[in-house]
Every structure is written in structure tokens, then in C-alpha cells.
Amino acid sequence: MWRGSWLVAVCAGIIVAQATCAGGEPVALLELKVGKERLEGRIAAHNEQQCWLLRRDGRLASFQTDDVSDFHEIAPKFRSYSSLEIRDRLQTEFGRNFEVKTTTHYVVVARKGTADRYATLFERIYRQFHTYFDTRGFRMSEPEFPLIAVVLPDEQAFVNYCVGEGAKPQPGLVGFYLPGSNRVALYDRAANAQSTEEDVDGTVIHEGTHQVAFNTGVHSRIGQSPLWLVEGLATLFEADGIRQREAGGEAIGRVNPERFNWFREYRTRRPKKSLEAFIRNDTLFKKSALDAYSQAWALSFYLAESRQVEFASYLKKVATRNPLEPYAEESRLKDFKSAFGNDLEFVETGMLRYFERLGE
């Protein structure tokens, strides 16, 4: 019987081997028996208690090392499923009432006659995201896996899918990206006269931005990230001006009007010197989500527009920290200060004055 400690030793050996490989390419595809289930993939991260396994379709599996009873190498090099393999798997998963379309980076499943439009939109989001960061000197990695998007035909199908993925279908939820499954899922509200195509496209843009960021090294799929940073970036890309323009031009042309207007109102009742708490924890998102989203956008926009180099450095620092270490409040604050300076009041005042001038 293999014990968890044996797995830790083997994991460590695999990771050392990967580090000595040219380009750090993964070298082993493993099969592990976890409880009654057998899983295939490569070790993405581990410590003495926990292991993360990256599967060939891009899903992440997390389990306790003591739950592993057996494992062996089944191929010398890990390889993700190709777009064509994933296309066939999705067609089997969703059935003949759906169609599956592939692009350079995506595999999109939707009801017949609609997949092509969504696939084109997702691919456009990827290109715009890449261009935005490339023109600002932030080098992203290429996705290791084809990016999967699921567009359900109606709300009930979406709720059923949420339950199957372990995502709680809360009221008002119209789409999501899950780092664990690495899939975007939403439902076609426009087809059911519940919304406009523009609103549905907005959901695609927001959740698609999450997916791209988590697959290109901007965010870590395993490690914790401040919610303001994750949502701030997604709300940043909701704006047409961000996605359609390069680094030049007036900043006002890149604002997100909805978030900007909400933040202008929130600023009149916002607690003074509250930036530190916002950076330390995600409490505001639980207390007042719309205020939190507007401030996440405002802080991200301010830093991206006025402190590009520091913002890029901060993103890399958060994305490359030890993914298995809890991201304590003090650590979050320390990382922010290491990028933008110890004087948070200076950062906060600068942000508020920036938006005062931008609104004139």
C-alpha cells in the first residue's frame, strides 16, 4: 500500500526532473488511485498534506496525499488533449442537440446554429487581452490547454449545469468561470427574450477575461488571488475602449461607463482611508458587491493607466507566489506595498484625485 509520504517524495522528484528539462516542460503523465477513483494527469503542486493534479482536459483535481493508494507513470511526457479530442469529448458530453466549434484557442459548445458566433467572440476577447498586455510590456504565456466555453440554451439547463459542476446557482447568476474546471459557462438569455445580445456578450467578455487571465500567467489557477484584482481586471475589459484601443489615446476613452458612474456615486459615501482594508481582505464584496466591483475597477484602472510598470510587477508577484500557502491579510498588504510603496494614503489620494479630474 502506497502512503501519502511516498507520493510526496515522488512528486518532489518529478518536479526536480521538470526543472531540469529544457523549457521546464512537464515530463510525466501519471495515473493515481485516489479513494475509489483513478485519475490521470501531472502534478501541478503539492505539499505534505495536499496535492493538485492537472488533468489532460485542463481540469484540476485536489486531494489529500494520504488518500492516494497507488500511482504509476503511464507516459514519459504529459500532453493535453488536442482541440479535436476535446471537441469530440464535448459532443459526447452534451449530445446531438448541441454543436461544437473550434478556433485557435477555444472549443465552444452551444445549441445548433449559435456556436460559431460565440467562438468568434471568445477568440476576439483573447486577441484583445493579449494585445493590451503586450503593448504594455507584460509577456503572457500561451495557454497549455484549449479553452472550453459552454453556452446553455436556457436558465434551467444552466442551473442543472451549475449543480453538476459544484457551483451554487445563486439568484442573478448568468455565467461563471471556474478555475477548477477551467471552463466558462453561461446561458443564452437573448434567445429566451430575457436579455439583449449585448448583455449576453457582456457576460462572455467578463467571464472570458477571467479565463484568459487564469490561463496565460496573469492569475494563478491554484493560488489565492485578491478578489479586487481578479474582478478589477475583468471589469476593466468590459469597456469597449480597453479592448479596441492600444496604449495611446485619452484615458476617458477607456473607462467602463457603468463602473465609473457607480464609483463616482460611491465616492461620496466611501469611508475615508478605507483602501487598506480593501487590499487586505474581500469583505466589501460580501457586504456591498456593487460598491466593491466599482472600486475594484477604479483601483485597477488607476494603476493600469498611471502606474503600468508597478501594476505589471504586482500581477506577476501575486501570480507566482507559492500557490499552497494561504494568502493572509498581512501578506496581501505587503505584496501591494512592495509594488506601490508603503504610503497607502498617497495611493488612495492619488486614485481619488485621478477620478475627480477624469470626471471633469
Domain holding 65: CATH number?
2.30.30.100
Whether 238 and 337 share a structural domain: yes
Q: What is the pLDDT of residue 170?
A: 85
Whether 312 and 246 share a structural domain: yes
**For residue 138, what pLDDT band results from cuts at 50, 70 and 90?**
confident
What's the average model confidence in pLDDT over 9-23? 42
Whether 113 and 184 share a structural domain: yes
d(CA 190, CA 187): 9
Q: Which residue in the block uniquely carries the three cell numbers 507566482? A: 320
- Does 222 fall in a domain? no
> Does the pLDDT of residue 12 top 50, yes or no?
no
pLDDT in tens, 287-346: 999 999 999 999 999 999 999 999 999 999 999 999 999 999 999 999 999 999 999 999
Whether 242 and 306 share a structural domain: yes
Nearest CA to 295 out of 241, 343, 357, 347 is that of 347
Q: What are the residues whose beta carbons fall under 8 Å from the beta carbon of 279, sequence distance 6 or more? A: 226, 228, 332, 333, 336, 344
115-134 and 197-215 helices, crossing angle to 10°: 50
Q: What is the pLDDT of residue 13?
A: 45
> Does the pLDDT of residue 191 top 80, yes or no?
no
Whether 271 and 337 share a structural domain: yes
pTM for this prediction: 0.91
- Does 37 fall in a domain? yes
Whether 129 and 70 share a structural domain: no
- Does 178 fall in a domain? yes
Whether 290 and 191 share a structural domain: no
Q: What domain range is 348 assigned to? A: 227-358
Whether 211 and 90 share a structural domain: yes
Q: What stretch of H or E contains 39?
A: strand 37-46
Q: Are 148 and 58 in contact (CB under 8 A)?
A: yes
d(CA 141, CA 129): 12
CA torsion sign, 126 to 127 to 133 to 134?
positive
Whether 45 and 120 share a structural domain: no
Whether 123 and 211 share a structural domain: yes
Whether 28 and 93 share a structural domain: no
- Does 220 fall in a domain? no
Number of domains in the chain: 3
- Does 350 fall in a domain? yes
The partner residues of 100 in beta bridges, in order of sequence, read 109
Nearest CA to 188 out of 113, 289, 283, 101 is that of 113
- Does 345 fall in a domain? yes
- Does 165 fall in a domain? yes
Q: Which of 20, 51, 75 is the last residue of a domain?
A: 75
> Does the pLDDT of residue 22 top 80, yes or no?
no
Q: Are 59 and 180 in contact (CB under 8 A)?
A: yes
Q: What are the residues whose beta carbons fall under 8 Å from the beta carbon of 180, sequence distance 6 or more? A: 59, 60, 62, 221
Mean pLDDT of the chain: 90
Q: Which of 157, 189, 215 is the last residue of a domain?
A: 215
Q: Is 231 helix (H, G, I), strand (E, B) or coil?
A: helix
* DSSP 8-state class, residue 115: H
Q: What is the pLDDT of residue 193?
A: 66
**For residue 16, what pLDDT band results from cuts at 50, 70 and 90?**
very low
Whether 143 and 175 share a structural domain: yes
Nearest CA to 139 out of 308, 303, 21, 316 is that of 316
- Does 288 fall in a domain? yes
Q: Which of 28, 49, 75 is the last residue of a domain?
A: 75
